[in-house]
């Protein structure tokens, strides 16, 4: 069983030879990893990572145009953007070469490949600023609904080109949660996030690939909607934000898999190694044999030492094979 087969089986709730493992390690630790192992790729090979998280393709927005608007306008509101064509060309084939190259590299190692793309709420935080965006959800819900619809149309074309390059899953990054609750009214989520997310996830499925969600924080109030959308995988299902393993196992284990378990906010890089080991064993005891891919809850932070990273992945590698 290679890594792609292993991960697919876990997502589908089928038997596997061992628990799949992965980790978001490169963003903040590339330099110390390279100093110890020669490259991030060597680290991934050493611990036999089963997944590749691929970034690439065209950015959805013309940032130069948006910068000009920010300079020219007193306030850049959703209403203003309705009259501006600020989306880039999703059919710019040259922009997908990095995805094609990455898929080829990781498929030579048998890995399951997923490509990240923006959701709806999170990318427009970058356009408006999160404080303004939250305010605009109350002030301009109809206008935002239309902008989200246009984002969905762009995303459908992005999915087409990723599928043509052999990816296994489309990963929608759309942070909705604070530490204790949704960042905005769940009613608004159902009205102007759910329908567009449902559309792009259904489209990914129609093309024969899985769909996954990344949302930090507590999204328990819309977890039923996440299941109804049809997500195959949810990352990170954040335990220390009120998303306990019991909730997942009791209500959602028959609906989607989870990617996560190793918390960057409360465990890896923060706990002494003895306690970190206890925490990793606890997570494996809760989730081993379930629809679970062991992974970090987000990018491992730069306060994590190479010694702690090594300790964690030595143990993860061992436990995944028990």
The pLDDT assigned to 11 comes to 98
The pLDDT assigned to 126 comes to 93
Residues 179 and 157: their CA atoms lie apart, in Å, by: 33
Torsion angle defined by CA atoms of residues 305, 322, 278 and 33, in that order, rounded to the nearest 10 degrees: 0
Class of domain 53-235: alpha beta
List of residues 6+ apart from 75 with CB closer than 8 A: none
How confident is the model over 229-266, as pLDDT tens digits? 999 999 999 999 999 999 999 999 999 999 999 999 99
The pLDDT assigned to 62 comes to 96
Q: What is the DSSP string of 19-85?
A: --B----HHHHHHHHHHHHSSHHHHHHHTT--EEEE--S--SB-HHHHHHHHHH-SS--HHHHTT--
The pLDDT assigned to 78 comes to 96
Residues 213 and 129: their CA atoms lie apart, in Å, by: 22
- Give residue 116's region: left, alpha or beta (phi > 0; psi -120 to 50): beta
Residues 307 and 277: their CA atoms lie apart, in Å, by: 13
Residues 41 and 49: their CA atoms lie apart, in Å, by: 10
What distance lies between CA 79 and its chain's CA centroid?
29
For residues 7 and 258, the answer to whether their CB atoms sit within 8 Å is no
Global pTM reads 0.96
Instruction: Report, as ranges of residue numbers, the positions in the chain whose pLDDT lies below 50.
Output: none
The pLDDT assigned to 74 comes to 81
Burial (Cβ within 10 Å: 0-12, 13-18, ≥19) of residue 313: buried
Q: What are phi and psi of 140, to 5 degrees?
A: -130, 50
- Token pair in block for residue 72: 């020219």
- Token pair in block for residue 204: 């990914």
Compute the half-sphere exposure of residue 200: CA atoms within 13 Å on the CB side of its CA. 30
For residues 167 and 204, the answer to whether their CB atoms sit within 8 Å is no
For residues 242 and 182, the answer to whether their CB atoms sit within 8 Å is no
Residues 73 and 251: their CA atoms lie apart, in Å, by: 47
How confident is the model over 45-82, as pLDDT tens digits? 999 999 999 999 999 999 999 999 999 888 899 999 99
């Amino acid at each position: 069983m290679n890594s792609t087969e292993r991960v697919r089986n876990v997502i589908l709730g089928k038997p596997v030879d061992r628990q799949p493992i992965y980790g978001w390690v490169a963003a903040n630790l590339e330099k110390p990893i390279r100093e110890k192992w020669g490259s991030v790729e060597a680290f991934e090979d050493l611990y036999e990572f089963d997944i590749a998280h691929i970034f690439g393709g065209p950015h959805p927005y013309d940032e130069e145009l948006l910068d000009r608007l920010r300079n020219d306008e007193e306030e850049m509101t959703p209403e203003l953007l309705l009259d501006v064509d600020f989306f880039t060309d999703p059919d710019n084939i040259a922009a997908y070469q990095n995805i094609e190259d990455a898929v080829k590299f990781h498929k030579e190692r048998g890995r399951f490949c997923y490509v990240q793309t923006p959701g709806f709420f999170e990318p427009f935080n970058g356009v408006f600023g999160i404080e303004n965006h939250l305010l605009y959800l109350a002030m301009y819900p109809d206008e935002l609904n239309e902008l989200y619809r246009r984002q969905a149309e762009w995303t459908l074309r992005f999915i087409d080109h990723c599928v043509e390059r052999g990816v296994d899953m489309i990963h929608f990054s759309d942070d909705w949660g604070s530490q204790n609750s949704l960042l905005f009214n769940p009613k608004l989520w159902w009205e102007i996030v759910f329908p567009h997310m449902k559309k792009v996830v259904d489209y990914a499925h129609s093309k024969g690939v899985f769909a996954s969600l990344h949302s930090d924080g507590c999204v328990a109030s819309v977890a039923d909607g996440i299941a109804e959308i049809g997500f195959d995988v949810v990352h990170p299902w954040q335990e220390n934000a009120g998303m306990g393993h019991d909730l997942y196992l009791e209500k959602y284990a028959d609906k989607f898999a989870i990617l996560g378990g190793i918390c960057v906010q409360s465990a890896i890089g923060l706990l002494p190694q003895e306690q970190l080991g206890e925490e990793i064993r606890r997570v494996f005891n809760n989730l081993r044999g379930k629809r679970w891919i062991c992974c970090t809850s987000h990018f491992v932070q730069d306060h994590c030492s190479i010694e702690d990273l090594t300790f964690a992945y030595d143990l993860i590698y061992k436990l995944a094979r028990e």
